[in-house]
Amino acid sequence: MIFFDRGIVKNAIHYGFYKNNDAGSVTTLFTKLTQKTLNMKMKTKLNLATGLLASGIVMTSTATAATTIIGTGGGATNSSVDQTYGDNATANVAGGISVTAGGTPNIGLTYGGGTWEYHAWSGAGANNGGDGVLQLQGTSNSVTHSITFTPDAGFAAVITGFNFIGDTNGAANTYQYDWQVVDAVSGATLTSGTTASWTTVTATAPFSGAPAVDVNYTGLVDGQALRLEMVQSAGFTGVGGNMAIDNLVFDQVTIVPEPSSAALLGLGGLALILRRRK
């Protein structure tokens, strides 16, 4: 369906019929308006497509794979987390890593900031089938813990989210964390948030109340390394060494290459063909 500007139609009727007293002139003018409108629509679409290509915007495909770290995978309690734990995951690891649709073979992981330790907290795995958690050791000093996701060339990382979990020692404690995703090279903040504060009571419900963190950030640049950081916020009054994360979910997507000069020339040729067919 074609829609005309009210002013254009009014002028067409006025000059084509009332001025010339000729109904045929109205038909002629409407025919010209129709063709002009179609040409304008076609030109707008071509200009939009050309603009997107020329801008060099990088598009990504839909995520098709995922990796979830659900536990220690047999890592000894209180031992340091392996710096390659979860790296290029393509297969399940009993009690530790779960993959779907081939996992994330093109994403490397690096654990940094404060000390990361495996910990087989009793009951922690009951929620997800894992055998423990990744403990944020040393957080009582407000140390920032981080995990860097580094994709291979041609891919981008997707950080979906994770769960805080704890604690298992002491009386009732209140916890709250700030988190952010930064560009691992420039340090620029890409997305961030703060959890609601929560209280756990070791004696009755040591793993209740800890929030799930929905990050849902996809890298937009080919090979961009993303660093997930977490640190205590103002509402934290608990015991730092008793906190951990679980159910860390991340994906990968394939980057669509930027348009080449040949593609732009091809689009120009398409424009000429369409113009000749008008």
The per-residue pLDDT for range 156-210, each reduced to its tens digit, is: 999 999 988 766 565 667 778 899 999 999 999 999 999 888 777 655 565 666 7
Whether the pLDDT of residue 257 is over 60: the answer is: yes
Angle formed at CA 70 by CA 218 and CA 100, multiple of 5 degrees: 60
Q: Which residue has the tokens 């790296």?
A: 87
Using an 8 Å Cβ cutoff, are 66 and 99 in contact?
Answer: yes
- Please compute the mean of the pLDDT values over residues 218-223 and round it to a whole number: 94
Please indicate whether residue 92 or residue 49 has the higher confidence score (pLDDT): 92
Whether the pLDDT of residue 57 is over 70: the answer is: no
Q: Which two tokens stand for residue 167?
A: 């604690």
Q: Which residue has the tokens 């779907």?
A: 100
Residue 50: left (phi > 0), alpha (psi -120 to 50), or beta? alpha
Helix (H, G, I), strand (E, B) or coil at 207: coil
Question: Given pLDDT bands bounded at 50, 70 and 90, which one contains residue 127?
Answer: low
Please indicate whether residue 92 or residue 240 has the higher confidence score (pLDDT): 92
For residue 232, what pLDDT is reported? 85
| Other residues' Cβ atoms within 10 Å of the Cβ of residue 205 | 12
Q: Which two tokens stand for residue 182?
A: 């930064």
Give the residue ranges of DSSP H helices in the chain: 6-13, 23-55, 261-276
Helix (H, G, I), strand (E, B) or coil at 261: helix
Please indicate whether residue 213 or residue 22 has the higher confidence score (pLDDT): 213
Please indicate whether residue 98 or residue 202 has the higher confidence score (pLDDT): 98
CA distances to 65, 87, 97, 132, 218 from 104, rounded to whole Å, are 6, 8, 11, 22, 14
For residue 143, what pLDDT is reported? 85
Using an 8 Å Cβ cutoff, are 174 and 199 in contact?
Answer: yes
CATH topology of domain 65-254: Jelly Rolls (2.60.120)
Question: What would the pLDDT profile of 15-50 be if each residue is shown by its tens digit?
Answer: 343 344 444 544 444 344 345 443 444 443 334 334
For residue 148, what pLDDT is reported? 98
Question: Given pLDDT bands bounded at 50, 70 and 90, which one contains residue 212?
Answer: confident
Q: How far apart are CA 230 and CA 214, in angstroms?
A: 13
Question: Given pLDDT bands bounded at 50, 70 and 90, which one contains residue 123?
Answer: low
For residue 96, what pLDDT is reported? 92
Give the residue range(s) of CATH 2.60.120 domains in the chain.
Answer: 65-254
Whether the pLDDT of residue 238 is over 60: the answer is: yes
Using an 8 Å Cβ cutoff, are 141 and 115 in contact?
Answer: no
For residue 129, what pLDDT is reported? 63
- In percent, the amount of the chain with pLDDT more than 90 equals 35
Task: Provide the pairing of β-strand 133-137 with 115-119.
Answer: antiparallel
Which residue type is seen at 242?
N
Please indicate whether residue 195 or residue 260 has the higher confidence score (pLDDT): 195
Q: How far apart are CA 203 and CA 142, in angstroms?
A: 25
